[in-house]
Chains A and B, each alone.
Chain A
Amino acid sequence: MDKVRDLASKKAAVIFTKSSCCMCYSIKTLFYELGASPAIHELDHDPSGRDMEWALRGLGCDPSVPAVFIGGRFVGSAKDVISLHVDGSLKQMLIDAKAIWF
């Protein structure tokens, strides 16, 4: 958990993924489309990946990946990201966290 928090606070936009997860790929693409460059942490290539996954599940992220943090705050999984994006909230969050400028 600590590692998760630690990593999440390091950058404005942080996404925890797995290299084999294609939904993670979709969310990454969305962020790139918005002009953000989020920090990507692949749990399957991290030594403490298991613990981190367990921590993310504890936050209520189901499935555990992709897990999105904006401005150090947990935003949610793919479903939450899409919903927020449709109503315009996601973009605003990114602007507020200075992940994007417009």
Chain B
Amino acid sequence: MGSRTVNIGIGNDKKAVTAMPSYVPSVPTSNPSSTEANTIRSSRIPDLGTLEQSLGFRIEDAVDLTRNPLFNQIKSSTQAIADAQFGAINKTLASADNNLSAAIVGSQTLTLKKDTPPNLVSISAGRENWGDSNMADASPRTDISTDDTDEKNQRFERGQTNAIVASDSSDRSKDKTDQKTLRRLAQNREAARKSRLRKKAYVQQLESSRLKLTQLEQELQRARQQGIFISSSGDQSHSMSGNGALAFDVEYARWLEEHNRQINELRAAVNSHAGDTELRTIVDNVTAHFDDIFRLKGIAAKADVFHILSGMWKTPAERCFLWIGGFRSSELLKLLANQLEPLTEQQFMGFHNLQQSSQQAEDALSQGMEALQQSLAETLANGSPGPSGSSGNVANYMGQMAMAMGKLGTLEGFVRQADNLRQQTLQQMHRILTTRQSARALLAINDYFSRLRALSSLWLARPRE
């Protein structure tokens, strides 16, 4: 047995059999054919058994091992390559088709312990004289020497490969479906992978868009604070209060634009020394336009009083001088006092009275606001637990809230009266002054507020450490 290699050869010769130690087989013979076949078969078995023992692994496993590399190759490669390889293997296996008989003989004992395909059995049943004639068929596969041992090796090799062919070719139809299934599976995997990549790319796109959106929103907020009008018509889906505040901001910006246009017209008229009638028309236009913003503020105060009170619709520097949702009339008159000269005595008195009246009204309204604050604080601060049980406390709480709600409702009234005061002051001023003086007054007021707005812009754009 010294010349034996890894490729064990099945001794198909009686000669080989006799050289082997005896071994009692336990393999059932499914085809009780001629005695010759039986003898041969039975004589083969001890050969295999010994071989198994000597090599330490089962022949079946050898077949499995030879099979496995094929399948491993298929699994690890891509579909195209798998197809090619599988196809190639199939071809190589198929080319040994004509050696089916020998293969079947060689594999009979090999496959008996596995699920025996019927055709093998039937074929082997038909093969009684498988001896030299089959060997002759098998021999063209190789042109190696006629040495018995070598031939045995070759035959076993062939037998083995053919065994694979046999077991495979008999399952050829099964292989074909396996092949299709494997191809389909590979295709699915590929499609899934591509889909995953697409999804990843889309999500990344969404993320970057979201970042960009938040950045833009921040910029927008900053720009709005600086008094730049930016249309935000896309925000209509907000809540009621949001809608009121935003709508007013938009309207105010539009109003300011128109106001500036009118003031420029007035300035041009004053500088060109236009006639009184023309001036009067423009002045009346500006005054009427002021009434517009007070009307708009009234509507906005109804919708969202806190937005108006906050002054967020004004620039920061303007907000500094905020009084109940707007400018202080007395301050305005103070800044005009020196710019309107020459004034007649009557005018002077009238102007002075107006200053005093507006101051008094402002004080009265301020005190009323303070009383409201105090009252609201008292209402909410009354948190001492009543002598009764929890139900009493709940009733207390609800009563508290109801009262507080009522007080908050009166805020709108204060904003309305403050605006009323501003409106009345402007109207009274125009009654006291001449047309030309009114024109100059309007220009002066506009100059002042323009400077405040410019100051806001500078402030917002200031370099910070």
Q: Which residues of A contact B372 (CB under 8 A)?
A: 22
11 CB < 8 A contacts A-B: A20-B407, A22-B407, A26-B364, A29-B367, A30-B361, A30-B364, A33-B360, A78-B413, A85-B360, A86-B357, A87-B424
CA distance A74 to B365 in the complex (A): 22
Q: Known A30-B361, A34-B360; judge A25-B367 contact (CB<8 A).
A: yes
- B350 CB to closest chain A CB, in angstroms? 8
The answer, yes or no, to whether B369 is at the interface (CB within 8 Å) is yes
Closest-by-CB residue of A relative to B366 is A26
Q: Tell me which of A27, A29, A83 contacts B363 (CB under 8 A).
A: A29
Q: Known A21-B410, A23-B410; judge A79-B420 contact (CB<8 A).
A: yes
Most chain B CB neighbours (cut-off 10 Å) among A30, A33, A82, A83? A82
Say whether chain A's binding surface is mostly helix, strand, loop, or mixed.
helix
Q: Known A86-B354, A86-B428, A88-B357; judge A22-B375 contact (CB<8 A).
A: yes
The answer, yes or no, to whether B275 is at the interface (CB within 8 Å) is no
- A residues 35-92 near B (Cβ < 8 Å) are 63, 78-79, 82-83, 85-88, 91
Contact A29 B364 (CB under 8 A): yes
Contact A23 B361 (CB under 8 A): no
CA distance A93 to B1 in the complex (A): 141
Give chain B's interface residue range (CB within 8 Å of chain A). 20 to 34
CA distance A27 to B417 in the complex (A): 11
Q: Which residues of A contact B424 (CB under 8 A)?
A: 82-83, 86-87
Closest-by-CB residue of B relative to A28 is B364
Q: Which residues of B contact A22 (CB under 8 A)?
A: 368-369, 371-372, 375, 407, 410, 414
Q: Tell me which of A29, A63, A79, A91 contacts B368 (CB under 8 A).
A: A29
CA distance A87 to B425 in the complex (A): 8
Q: Which residues of B contact A21 (CB under 8 A)?
A: 410
The answer, yes or no, to whether B358 is at the interface (CB within 8 Å) is yes
Most chain B CB neighbours (cut-off 10 Å) among A20, A21, A23, A83? A23
CA distance A25 to B369 in the complex (A): 9
The answer, yes or no, to whether B444 is at the interface (CB within 8 Å) is no
Q: Known A78-B417, A82-B421; judge A26-B360 contact (CB<8 A).
A: no
Contact B425 A25 (CB under 8 A): no
CA distance A68 to B365 in the complex (A): 16
